[in-house]
Amino acid sequence: MGKMDFIGKPSSAAGGWGALKSVGKRLLESGAPLSNAKALLKTNQPDGFDCPGCAWGDPEHGSSFEFCENGVKAVSWEATEARVSPEFFAKHTISSLSQWSDYELEKQGRLTSPLRYDHAFDRYVPVSWDDAFCEIGTILRGLDSPDRAEFYTSGRASNEAAFLYQLMVRLYGTNNFPDCSNMCHEASGVGLKASIGVGKGTVLLEDFEKTDAIFVIGQNPGTNHPRMLGDLRRAALRGARIAVFNPIREKGLQRFSDPQDKLEMITGGNTKIATNYYQPRQGGDMAAIRGISKVVFAADAAARAQGEPAIIDYAFIADHAVEFEAYRAAVEATSWDAILDQSGLTREEIEEAAAIYMNAESVIATWAMGVTQHKHSVIIVREITNLMLLRGNVGRPGAGLCPVRGHSNVQGDRTVGIDEKAPAALLDALEKELGVAMPRNQGHNTVEAISAMLDGRAEVFIALGGNFLRATPDSPRIVEAFKKQKLTVNIATKLNHSHLVPGETSFILPCLGRTEIDRNSKGSPQIVTVEDSMSMVHGSGGINEPASPALRSEIAIVAGIAEATLGNDLVKWNELADDYDLIRNMIERVIPGFDDFNTRVRVPRGFQLPNSAAQREWNTPQHKAVFFAGPLPERTDHQKALAQNGIFVLQTLRSHDQYNTTIYGLDDRYRGVYGERQVLFMNPQDMDKIGAHAKQRVDIVGEYGDGIERIARNFRLVPYNIPQGSVGGYYPELNVLVPLHSYGEGSFTPTSKSVLVSVRLRQQDEAA
């Protein structure tokens, strides 16, 4: 997160913003207002805004702005002076705009007024807020079941907006809450809940100052959580070991420059980040971790046989865990052959990693999408937890589990009720608060929402932010799903492809961004709140003037739709939208952990939500932490690929110049790619094998044999340090290759890091 509050910290802040000048010429081209950004510095506001860049935590003392190149990009992209006005839409039909790239669309700037799609002219035309709300309400009320509407949330929505949204949706009568988290850290939530009784991480930022070893698994913080590198660097300087597991050698994890050299945080730096870098096969992390456990069990037995102290923390396990003996048996039953083949690591590497684990008094494990976007991701998360439990590395200082979240408030949105699985405690509390029954049946996640939209069970799609069409798998099928809708509504800051496939009736409702001042009817600025990866909740208040006077806050827009759909009898929507303190009071009454919400959120660092596992209270049926004692997956997709000639396992990842489907520019400088995104990283030996030369252009073809043709055309091969049998390229361009039916067991997360493909060489003169 990184709250940007510049008051009283001119020097550190000035360093950061001074460096903004050089952040990149493409940002300048795109109309990011440097004058505006600098004005942020001078603005004397009591509250700063929370960086929309990522969900990493804030430093302990105050909330100074830690320089982060990609945070600056996120802020500038939102604070651009470019505008997409009604005149823009008068000039361009939707059919022509749909040919534009993601980059070109967002680059046009901020949306300025509510719009309604006009079929006769194939254009969006201005509409009044009241007319939009009224028509949306009429269509929603006219559906024969509330379960025929899907309500998507992207993780930038504040706690207040998300809480009000779920309140509206549940009072309307459904739990259909597909959300970005379903495509992201769902496996972390599901796995951790089963193992330790809470679906969130257990560490605080302070723990990084105390830990002896950090295992960074399936994550590229140099690009996606740059402020985490600061914490890793400080730990490395203290002598903590940092063991990285990543099939690709990511530059940002290898070295980190002195923060005085703020512009080039990474290249040319002199602090080594990873003390040990392991390159497992795609999806091979569970095998790698099980191998480490196998070494730990053996070392523990050997030590005890010699009368030395045990290596496993038996006291912790006796007090706090169940299924330990079953886990020991499962580890014994897993052969070294299976471990080495699936992980792709050598026995020596695994023994070395195990030594790091055993020699460390306290260990933190962090992870992101390299762990969560496979078929067996839930059990990878559980295996990481198993290893940490072996030496009591959960719930004490300097130790713990740390899924590093994506969107800046994706964790908070779930906390305040964006959850298709509708926990009974939440529904009970809502019923008590409002005195009416809540829908009890489970709603749709992202994958289920898409099926429902495709087969006609869902007729309305409403999105609180995000870019559903581009973020989801099988992009062409999503286009069909959108076209079938009676109504689509996109609450958004910028134009994207999800807006350009209208249904029968479609609206774009433009909202304020985080950076902008949100005034109520009396003209007083209001703050919202967000929760970071460390479960810290803090306030966020914008400091820029709104991009257009017609913009409304997400909260006001939700309130408008709610009032038009449900009326004001039960909830006074507009009163809540006019005073967010009232929404926070309701959150305090309904959701545990928010006591004195309005007071505590106004102290500098906010407050931490209680985390039972961090206190060693286990909210599982057995009231203990639960070892997972199942076997490794029989075969990972990478193993399948290696067994078949010409088949590769593809991972789709992020470049340094993008924020999910938002493309800031065409470079990926840590990976040495400039001016293009249609690239495919491949091991040079694999290139030889398929007879490809450097700069070879290829088509990438989906290999699922399900009768659906999936092709990504005209990509350039880039020889890369990546395991054989594995290839990598950028999301969202490659989403055409991710099949809707390939998702994680128990998580329903599309397998964006394991996609089976083949590569077809193109002739030099073949047209694009």
Ligand X SMILES: Nc1nc2c(c(=O)[nH]1)N[C@H]1C(S)=C(S)[C@@H](COP(=O)(O)OP(=O)(O)OC[C@H]3O[C@@H](n4cnc5c(=O)[nH]c(N)nc54)[C@H](O)[C@@H]3O)O[C@H]1N2
Task: Give all strands (DSSP E) within 82-228, no chain letters.
Answer: 83-84, 110-111, 115-118, 123-126, 149-153, 213-217
Q: Cα 210 vs. chain centroid, distance in angstroms?
A: 27
**Residues in the chain, how many?**
768
Tell me, letter by letter, the H, E, C secondary structure of 440-493.
CCCCCCHHHHHHHHHCCCCCEEEEECCCHHHHCCCHHHHHHHHHCCCEEEEEEC
Complex with ligand X: residue 293 or 661, whichever CB lies closer: 661
Q: Stretches 29-37, 148-156, 435-443, 452-460: which one binds ligand X (CB under 6 A)?
A: 148-156
- Binding letters toward ligand X, positions 8-47, x by CB under 6 A: ----------------------------------------
Q: Specify whether the CB–CB gap between 275 and 212 falls below 8 A.
A: no
Q: Which of 27, 102, 68 is CA-nearest to residue 660?
A: 102
Shortest Cβ distance from residue 50 to Mo ion (Å)?
A: 17
* Cα dist from 330 to 294, 351, 383, 725, whole Å: 10, 19, 11, 28
Q: Which does 752 bind (CB under 5 to 8 A by kind): ligand X, Mo ion, none?
A: ligand X
Asked if 180 interacts with ligand X (CB under 6 A), we say yes
Q: Which does 731 bind (CB under 5 to 8 A by kind): ligand X, Mo ion, none?
A: ligand X
**Element (DSSP H or E) covering residue 389:** helix 377-390
Report 342-371 residues binding ligand X (CB under 6 A).
368-370
Shortest Cβ distance from residue 406 to Mo ion (Å)?
A: 3
- The backbone torsions φ and ψ at residue 321, rounded to the nearest 5 degrees and listed phi first, read -135, 155
Size of the site for ligand X (CB under 6 A): 61
Complex with ligand X: residue 605 or 654, whichever CB lies closer: 654
**Which member of 110, 116, 156, 233 binds ligand X (CB under 6 A)?**
156
Complex with ligand X: residue 317 or 512, whichever CB lies closer: 512
Which residues neighbour 336 within 8 Å (Cβ) at sequence distance 6 or greater?
A: 291, 294, 347
**Which member of 197, 199, 439, 465 binds ligand X (CB under 6 A)?**
465
Shortest Cβ distance from residue 660 to Mo ion (Å)?
A: 7
Shortest Cβ distance from residue 152 to Mo ion (Å)?
A: 14
**Burial group, residue 601, by CB count within 10 angstroms (0-12, 13-18, 19+):** buried
Complex with ligand X: residue 247 or 546, whichever CB lies closer: 247
Q: Stretches 123-131, 246-254, 256-264, 269-277: which one binds ligand X (CB under 6 A)?
A: 246-254
**Which member of 75, 232, 481, 491 binds ligand X (CB under 6 A)?**
491
Complex with ligand X: residue 3 or 328, whichever CB lies closer: 3
Upper half-sphere CA count for residue 321 (Cβ side, 13 Å): 29
DSSP H helices, 129-185, are: 129-142, 159-172
Which string of DSSP letters, residue by residue, matches 581-637?
HHHHHHHHHHSTT-TTHHHHTTSTT-EEPP-TGGGT---STTSSEE---PPPPS--H
Report 556-585 residues binding ligand X (CB under 6 A).
none
Q: Which does 735 bind (CB under 5 to 8 A by kind): ligand X, Mo ion, none?
A: ligand X
Rounded-to-integer distance, Cα 288 and Cα 348, Å: 12
**Which member of 108, 176, 202, 220 binds ligand X (CB under 6 A)?**
220
Shortest Cβ distance from residue 581 to ligand X (Å)?
A: 21
Upper half-sphere CA count for residue 154 (Cβ side, 13 Å): 22
Q: Specify whether the CB–CB gap between 470 and 101 falls below 8 A.
A: no
Helix axes 34-42, 10-20, angle to 10 degrees: 180
Contact positions toward Mo ion, by CB under 5 A?
184, 406
Rounded-to-integer distance, Cα 23 and Cα 569, Å: 51
Complex with ligand X: residue 195 or 373, whichever CB lies closer: 373
Find the angle CA(224)-CA(226)-CA(228) to the nearest 5 degrees.
Answer: 105
Complex with ligand X: residue 73 or 320, whichever CB lies closer: 73
Per-residue tokens: 699: 């088509």
Complex with ligand X: residue 519 or 654, whichever CB lies closer: 654
Asked if 219 interacts with ligand X (CB under 6 A), we say yes
Shortest Cβ distance from residue 764 to ligand X (Å)?
A: 29
Q: Stretches 197-205, 211-219, 256-264, 535-543: which one binds ligand X (CB under 6 A)?
A: 211-219
Complex with ligand X: residue 146 or 280, whichever CB lies closer: 280
Rounded-to-integer distance, Cα 236 and Cα 213, Å: 9
Q: Which does 420 bind (CB under 5 to 8 A by kind): Mo ion, ligand X, none?
A: none
Report 370-409 residues binding ligand X (CB under 6 A).
370, 373, 406-407
- Given the rule CB under 6 A, which residues bind ligand X? 53-54, 70, 106, 154-156, 180, 183-184, 217-220, 223-225, 245-248, 250, 280, 282-283, 285, 368-370, 373, 406-407, 464-468, 471, 491-494, 496, 511, 513-514, 554, 651-654, 658-662, 731, 735, 738, 752-753
